[in-house]
Amino acid sequence: MIIQAEGANVTRRTAGGGRPGPPTVLSLFSGALGLDLGFESAGFRVAAAVESNRWAAATIRRNRPGLALLDRKIEDVATSELLDAAGLQPGEPTVVTAGPSCQAFSTAGHRRSLDDPRGTLFRQFCRVVVEAQPRFFVMENVRGVLSAAIRHRPLAQRGPGHPQLDPEELHGSAFRLILRELSELGYHVVFDLVDAADYGAGQRRHRLVFVGSRDGEPVRVPARTHAENATDGRLPWLTLKEALAGLGDPDPVGVPLSDLRRGILALVPPGGNWRDLPEDLQKEALGKAYVSWGGRTGFYRRLDWDRPAPALTTNPASKATMVAHPEENRVLTVREYARLQGFPDDWQFEGGPAEQYVQIGNAVPIAIGAAVGAALRKVMRRRSGTDPELRGVVACQDPELLRRVNARPRTILNPQRMREDGTLSAARRWMSQHEPREQLHIPVVDQLR
């Protein structure tokens, strides 16, 4: 089925983005303004921002002292107050940007999905869109959204000996709900999973991007400009060496490693991690994680000059999420971190080193915002018309992504050695109790008129 609104009961103004001057942005969950700096580079003006984190709000004030900033939780901000701060009326904002808190959907840590208050913040974004009626919206999140469940059941409570999963506990149930609620906004929505390296960033960082059009304009997630193997006119990925070239950092700020961790890191080659350590040292390096499962690629990870960096974490000094220099036995500095995210070299971050790493690690690479902003400017310049029939239609940009979403297992289980009954036959019997998951039937962009 095509996810489509029955008909949005909203009042629209056709002037969206039509005021004199640069097109305007209302920024929600702004962080250190990573996504919005990308929009600024594409010619947009950030008219107002909402950010409740103390240090991120201080960073915005330091670098954009004239920006109207509402430093409270989005739940406590009325849309009318946000519009007043921006000097706009409903229907006049060009775009609402948002990156709702992603911890509830992240594959790292404890996933609680929509059962976690942080997982419902996208509904606050939806509220602002309905009430502000921007011409466009852009929402981004982690790729873990694709497999998130509405209610998360811990791995230790799945499999033989445990009750079967409820539909809301199946992988992808939260994503389906998000798509349904986005369709109810009455916007035409296109989504895709993008990699920041494909837009010229110096790191591999995947983000799920949703672009919406109020009037049914033909919005698209922007085409990739870079590739690992440059073909079809695209440029090669930016390497770490290229990304950090010319960076002046006379007074580097960072988090020191302990003598133990520095000693272990000294044995890891460029581009390596804990797996490159001598076998007798691997258990000491990982501790309790040695008997866990998964790739654990972040443990004692050292970067490679000739490759893009991996996705930056919020704690580069943790042994599990380490982001270490290719040659020196230290983690990347705050300024090196900021350069890889695309922040200007003179952008100042408030708080201590730990707070600065969190702000940078949580940011959307500026290259992604710049590419999406430029794509929207092209739509605005082309004046290619609107299609009312597209309002409420949600489409996927990439048919391969849609295929992978539909092929994803309904759930995953702990390894056999960690289950009470670790036999394969018991696991198959438990899995067979669950009804086959309904396929996600939505159009891909090429199928739209």
Helix (H, G, I), strand (E, B) or coil at 310: coil
Which residue, among 18, 24, 16, has the nearest Cα to 49 in the 3D structure? Answer: 24
Catalytic residue among 102, 165, 208, 264: 102
- The rounded Cα 228 to chain-centroid distance in angstroms is 21
Do β-strands 206-213 and 68-70 pair in parallel, antiparallel, or remain unpaired?
A: unpaired
| 287 contacts 264 by C-beta, under 8 angstroms | no
Residue 105 one-letter amino acid: F
Residue 144 one-letter amino acid: G
Contacts of 279 (CB under 8 A, 6+ apart): none
Which residue, among 36, 197, 160, 243, has the nearest Cα to 411 in the 3D structure? Answer: 160
Q: What is the C-alpha separation between 282 and 92, in angstroms, rounded?
A: 58
| 141 contacts 208 by C-beta, under 8 angstroms | yes
| 217 contacts 384 by C-beta, under 8 angstroms | yes
Active site residue 126: no
Residue 238: exposure state from Cβ atoms within 10 A (0-12, 13-18, ≥19): buried
Which residue, among 291, 237, 294, has the nearest Cα to 108 in the 3D structure? Answer: 294
Q: Mind telling me the catalytic residues?
A: 102
